[in-house]
Structure 1
Amino acid sequence: MILEHAILQIRPGQSASFEAAMEKARPLIARQPGFQSIEVRPESGNPERYLLLVTWDRIESHRDGFHGSEDYQRWRALLHAFYDPMPEITYYGPGIFHD
């Protein structure tokens, strides 16, 4: 299992619109082969910064599968205009502790 991590910095005053767009975009990623779960959490005290966590079966499901799909083009159209700057994606392997 792979955890995709990104910090999403949203343009000022766009948080509510971003959240509505994310709601529309969620089904696009959720139907991808290898997708397991998604979490989007606002930063406490900073409504324009979010933590994105997506769990995949393997990196290739995200990097090669989702990124190469038509659904990703729709995802981009819905969400990428909100980001400033564009987020950096990092991947983490299986955890060593699970509580």
Structure 2
Amino acid sequence: MILELADLRIQPGKQKEFDEAIARGVRTVISRAEGFRGFKVNKCVETPERYVLQIFWDTLEDHTVRFRGGPLFAEWRAIVGPYFAQPPHVEHFTLLTKSDEQ
């Protein structure tokens, strides 16, 4: 499994609107993508315009090739893109270890 970690910075004062948009975008668009396995969205306490989006994929290619190269990506960006203050910083990770509680 691959973890996509996206560091998102949105325009000041748009948090309430973005909260709705990102939840709707993941649930109605990204969740339909091949290889999608789940997600988490966290909102920064100290910097209210900063969010961290975690998406779990079966393979790297499910995100980088199939999703980003397909029509769902344009749908996703139409929903959340207008709120971005700068392009998201996105990286991919594999699991090394985790706690027993998770």
Question: Please, what TM-score do these two structures have when normalized by structure 2?
Answer: 0.89
Aligned to 1:46: 47
Alignment match, 2:65: 64
1:11-50 mapped onto 2 (5 Å cutoff): 11-26=11-26, 27-50=28-51
Matched positions, count: 99
Match of 2:92 in 1: 91
1:96 and 1:71 map into 2 onto residues whose CA distance is 32
The CA deviation string for residues 21-68 of structure 1, in whole angstroms up to 9 with x for no partner, is: 112211210111100111111011322111111110110000001112
Counterpart of 2:33 in structure 1: which amino acid? Q
- Structure 1 residue 10: Cα displacement: 0.8
Letter in 2 for 1:34: G
Structure 1: any 5+ residue segments left out of the alignment? Answer: none
Give, in angstroms, the shift of residue 98 of structure 1: 3.9
Q: Where do 4+ consecutive residues of structure 1 move more than 6 Å?
A: none
* RMSD over aligned Cα atoms: 1.2
Q: Identity of counterpart residues, as a percentage? A: 32
Gaps of 5+ in 2: none
Q: TM-score, normalised by structure 1?
A: 0.91
